[in-house]
Amino acid sequence: MKFENIYGTVDVLPDLELYNNKIIGLSMSGGADSTMLCILISKVIEYHQLNTEIQPYNGYDQWAPLDSAGLENIVKFIKEMFPTVSINSPMTVMFDTKGDPVKDKNFYIRPFVKELYDKNFIDIVVPGLTSGPPLEEQQKFDLVDGQQLIQRLPGYRLWDELERVDISLAPLKAVDKRFILQCYKDFGLTELFDMTQSCTHPKGNCGRCWWCKERAWAVNKVFFQKDQL
């Protein structure tokens, strides 16, 4: 099912038979992207009356607890929007990265996902990864600790996780965060957007990390039609 706005088009669950009678595993961090993906998947399930469950899962990093703090209320909000769609309570693995850039949360989440598969809690995962802003936009992001924050482009740290997923299974790979925020705007869900969190720093909303810069860039573009951060 295709969703389109001025920032692009995504095809969510394009092969309906692949997802019917299945449990979709959906990584939900409490961020804007995974939250909107849950909305879009729910719309497809509802429209086509699929016998499909959504099983959110989450990695709760005790070092940065605010990253997941709003997830329970977010899932509750979406459940109330789609009363005919089976959306289960999030399953969570807890850990403490202590801010280690090598053993980040994916180091703990990937084995957890394998366990969910092995125990038949999920049948198929739909990744919520989005493309990064255009190169010229990322180059405007401020420097932090002397490191340029271009990360979701070839050759930078966040690119490899995007490159690993097939666009047929990761529909948001085709768009950047402007598409996501435009969906919140078009669907009248700015209240839900305000419940989401992008920053992964311990105190949240640091305003300096790549995730904060990406969110601020998209907010300015979509909600305020401004170019500057």
CA-to-CA separations, 146 to 153, 154, 213, in angstroms, rounded: 18, 20, 16
Q: Where are the beta strands (DSSP E) in the chain?
A: 2-5, 8-11, 23-27, 53-61, 86-87, 91-95, 124-125
3 state SS of 16:
helix
- pLDDT score, position 140: 85
DSSP single-letter state for residue 70: T
The CA distance from 68 to 31, in Å, is: 8
> Tokens 């909305």 label which residue?
39
CATH 3.40.50 fits 2-222, yes or no: yes
What is the rounded distance in angstroms from the CA atom of residue 165 to the CA atom of residue 45?
22
Give the distance, in angstroms, between the CA of residue 11 and the centroid of all CA atoms in the same chain.
Answer: 16
- Side-chain-facing half-sphere of 208: CA atoms under 13 Å: 9
Q: How far is CA 127 from CA 26, 166, 192, in A?
A: 7, 9, 20
Block residue for tokens 């979509």? 222
Going along 90-222, which residue ranges are E strands? 91-95, 124-125
- Tokens 């198929």 belong to 124
Domain limits, the chain: 2-222
User: Residue 78: which of 31, 49, 36 has the closest Cα?
Assistant: 36
Question: In the prediction, which pLDDT does 16 show?
Answer: 95
pTM of the model: 0.92
Query: Average pLDDT of each block of 10 consecutive residues along the chain (229 residues)?
Result: 96 95 94 96 98 95 84 96 97 88 78 94 94 90 67 80 79 95 97 91 83 93 77
**Distance in angstroms (rounded) separating the CA atoms of residues 62 and 117:** 24
Closest CA to 65 of 98, 25, 113, 32: 98
